[in-house]
Amino acid sequence: MSYMGSLSGKTALVFGVASETSIAWAISQELAKNGAKIWLGYQFRYHSRIKDIAPQLPNLAGYERCDVSKEEELEAFFKKLQSPIDILVHAIAFAPATAFEGPVLQTSEADFSQALTVSSHSLPKMVKYAAPLMSKGGSVITLTYLGGQRVCANYKVMGVAKAALEAYVRELAHELGPQKIRVNAISAGPIKTLAASGIPNFDLILDYHKSVAPLRDNVTQEDVARCAAFLASDESRMITGQTIFVDGGYSIVGVPALS
């Protein structure tokens, strides 16, 4: 099914574009293709290509820097935005490299705190500023991973952060439902991006995923983007508080095929 044009007249604010491989970049393109006007929020930590690629986006309304872990930056960002929005995409995660080194038992409080501040608590913080701009209702979409529900090798404290993020999705959906603001998460299968390159042995995870997923393939950014466009559109008007898997069915498998 195509949602072509179903987002015309809507404005989306997308956080998390750092390069052409970012899931948020594919989502921005898909939302724009379906007619939405796009604002981008970016951090530019080290290797961001935002300034090269953002101008290529059709329907770009503007792009502004914002570190979502800093309250004063969020406040300034939304003050500058001054635009009604219909769609908010939160495609942000970060944990320091040390969080992936030792066993989870040795995760420092500083690493735990940074991982959850950036990857989980940033969702309600952003929604606090975005909700007043969604006077006609809206759709909030975040990105999660199976590590929030099951143990996934090498994901460590990020699994804890994604569990918190998914709980926030339900809490926010419950609180904001009366204002017709929907909140959902897409749980994507592994995709090679800048963030994923911080996870040790990511190539082995990709190979394993492909061999076990019922659809015997890896997920692409575009697969996730099409689901995001659906969640952003009124076609999904009664879906809220959900974590929807776009993973080729990987998450349903208990014991994989043994031969």
Structure tokens at 204: 């082995």
- Distance between CA atoms of 73 and 75, rounded to whole angstroms? 5
Dump strand ranges (E) for the chain: 11-15, 37-42, 60-65, 87-90, 138-144, 181-188, 243-246
Nearer Cβ to ligand NAP, position 4 or 153?
A: 153
Asked if 45 touches ligand NAP (CB under 6 A), the answer is yes
Structure tokens at 235: 């076609």
Asked if 233 touches ligand NAP (CB under 6 A), the answer is no
Tell which one of 138, 148, 159, 190 touches ligand NAP (CB under 6 A).
190
Q: At what angle do helices 122-130 and 157-176 cross, to 10 degrees?
A: 30
Nearer Cβ to ligand NAP, position 93 or 131?
A: 93
- Cα 239 from chain centre: 17
Catalytic, 46? Answer no
SS3 25: helix
Asked if 188 touches ligand NAP (CB under 6 A), the answer is yes
Asked if 93 touches ligand NAP (CB under 6 A), the answer is yes
Dump strand ranges (E) for 66-108: 87-90
Per-position x/- string for 118-147, each x denoting binding to ligand NAP as judged by CB under 6 A, each - no binding: x------------------------xxx--
Catalytic, 155? Answer yes
Residue among 3, 145, 168, 250 flagged as catalytic: 145
DSSP conformational letter for 147: G
Nearer Cβ to ligand NAP, position 128 or 180?
A: 128
Residue indicated by tokens 């990105």: 143
Instruction: Choose the binding region for ligand NAP from 53-61, 96-104, 168-176, 183-191 (rule: CB under 6 A).
Output: 183-191
Q: Residue numbers of the site for ligand NAP (CB under 6 A)?
A: 15-19, 21-24, 42-45, 48, 67-69, 91-94, 118, 143-145, 188, 190-191, 193-196
Catalytic residues, which ones? 145, 155
